[in-house]
Amino acid sequence: MAITIEIDHAKTRARAAAIAGLPVVPQAVKGPIRRLKWVILLLTLSIYYVTPFLRWNRGPNAPEQAVLLDFANGRLYAFFIEIWPQDLYLVTGLLVLASTILILANALAGRLWCGFACPQTVWTDLFLLVERLIEGDRRQRLKNIGAPLTAKRAFQLVAKHVTWLLISLATGGTLIFYFTDAPDLLSGLIVGDVSANALTWIAVFAGTTYGLAGFAREQVCTFMCPWPRLQGAIWDPEAYTVNYRDYRGEQRTSAKKAAELRLRGEPAGDCVDCGQCVAVCPIGIDIREGPNFACINCGLCVDACDGVMTKLGRPRGLIDYESWTNIERGRNKEAPRNRLLRPKTIGLTAACIALAGTIGLAFATKTTATLSVQHDRDPVAVRLSDGSLRNAYTVKLLNKSASAHRYTLSVGGIDAKLSIVGNESLSPIEVAPDSSEQLRLTLTAAQAAQRDVVFIARDETGGSLSAADRFVER
């Protein structure tokens, strides 16, 4: 079964609106989905604004901010997790896991992330709420477009944009808090003692928020975001996306005309062509025209249509979260089938579990210290006057813990004398917390052939580190 996601009417509407200079002005709607979106909006904004101020005790000489992207020192902190540059493979794994979860969500319910939790959607909803509270609902805002500028209208515009800018500055400032100690930066902002670099980034992020959430809005979701472009490749007809049950809604007619037709025993569609589904859509599309790549699956049109159906005494669900295959079954008067559990979703779920388990195991077994060895390249070996052979190496001990450690170096796999430049007695090497020590050492063997050698660093606490290299002849 080949299905093409319709994009022409989305482009046509966007082009017509641009030519007319008219923005998409969504109408407020009430319903269970809208209430769920408000809950998610409050939850996500609370997490975003509060997280930088959470504290986490990591011991002495370690930052106390629970979530901190300390790029200056090459550290990423997230509560009990600490990631060094050497651990970036774990970040890669988390990104792969997030992508797999997103694909799984798409297989289950389309662009669910876009409609409920995407930052663009969340901040756009917040900006729209401000706009409605100050300027009124859709009808009043449409009247304001092109109307003469009065004192009241000027006050509304100033109040709206000042509020938008305050939200944008709070957003940009909070994002900077993730990269430095939040309370210190906040106190610096209050007293005016902050670097020009921090102010510049706050201005950049504030301007981005102001532009994208205040003006670009649906253009971001339709044309700037790459995710809708992938819908043609990964769109799943079994996914529960927002769809119009055309087999029930057509032919469209007025409520009065539909009632007369039913009294005469003639068929009549439930859709009264009220246009509420289009009026509340934050993207400005008409879902009745078929699957659309621009639809973010927010479900506001479901609330709007259900409200109309309830007033008309008709069954709810004319527009609903429904799979496209069930829409086609309905056209053929066949019973719908729920196929959320199918090979694709089971495989993606298994992949998510396997990835999560692998990443969890990698985090659990991640060490707080590493030993690395690099053989000298020029020369790789030196023949001494007594006939013995010497190889030189650079050894690096990295201590990623919050306490100092002392290591004793030894070598295995070869009968050779170990010497540490500057430490002839081979006394324990102390590595300070959150730092590294680089040593230069030599191995001298009376009779040696090509063979592997193992360098061992034994910690005074009982642990040990090892790294292998090669002892070579000239």
Residues 28-39 have pLDDT tens digits of: 999 999 999 999
- Report the C-alpha gap between 470 and 375 in whole angstroms: 8
- 114 compared with 266, residue with greater pLDDT: 114
Please determine, for residue 474, whether its predicted confidence score (pLDDT) is greater than 90: no
Q: What average pLDDT does the chain have?
A: 88
Q: Return all residues near 231 (Cβ < 8 A) that are at least 6 apart.
A: 5, 110, 111, 293
Reported as a single tens digit per residue, the pLDDT across 381-404 is 888 888 889 999 999 999 888 788
Question: Regarding the domain delimited by 369-471, which CATH topology (the fold level of the hierarchy) does it fall under?
Answer: Immunoglobulin-like (2.60.40)
Secondary structure letter of residue 224 according to DSSP: I
In DSSP terms, 382 is beta-bridged to: 390
Reported as a single tens digit per residue, the pLDDT across 355-379 is 999 999 998 888 888 899 999 888 8
Q: Return all residues near 358 (Cβ < 8 A) that are at least 6 apart.
A: 93
Percent with pLDDT over 90 in the chain: 53
- Report the C-alpha gap between 268 and 281 in whole angstroms: 26
- 225 C-beta neighbours (distance < 10 Å), count: 17
- Report the C-alpha gap between 262 and 314 in whole angstroms: 12
pLDDT band at residue 17 under the 50/70/90 scheme: low
Q: Return all residues near 161 (Cβ < 8 A) that are at least 6 apart.
A: 214
Six-digit token pair at 121?
A: 């959607």
- Report the C-alpha gap between 469 and 65 in whole angstroms: 39
Please determine, for residue 4, whether its predicted confidence score (pLDDT) is greater than 50: no
The DSSP H or E segment spanning 168 is helix 151-177
Reported as a single tens digit per residue, the pLDDT across 134-185 is 999 999 998 888 888 999 999 999 999 999 999 999 999 999 999 999 999 9
Percent with pLDDT over 70 in the chain: 95
- Whether 208 and 256 have beta carbons less than 8 Å apart is answered as no
Q: Dihedral of CA 44/47/48/50: which sign?
A: positive
The number of C-alpha atoms within 13 Å of 167 and in the hemisphere containing its C-beta is 23
DSSP code per residue over 341-369 = SSHHHHHHHHHHHHHHHHHHHHHHT--SE
Phi, psi of 268 (to 5 degrees): -150, 140
In 117-150, which ranges are continuous DSSP H helix? 119-135, 138-144
User: Would you state the pLDDT for residue 1?
Assistant: 43
CB burial of residue 18 (10 Å; 0-12, 13-18, 19+): exposed
Phi, psi of 102 (to 5 degrees): -65, -40
**Secondary structure E strands in 400-459:** 405-412, 417-420, 429-431, 435-445, 451-459
Residue ranges of the domains in the chain? 8-234, 241-333, 369-471
pLDDT band at residue 42 under the 50/70/90 scheme: very high
- Give me the mean pLDDT over the 305-333 stretch: 93
Q: Dihedral of CA 420/425/428/434: which sign?
A: negative
- Report the C-alpha gap between 184 and 442 in whole angstroms: 47
User: Would you state the pLDDT for residue 167?
Assistant: 96
Distances 280 to 112, 138, 230, 287 between C-alpha atoms, Å: 17, 9, 25, 11
With tokens 């066949």, the residue in question is 334
- Report the C-alpha gap between 52 and 66 in whole angstroms: 7
- Whether 68 and 75 have beta carbons less than 8 Å apart is answered as yes
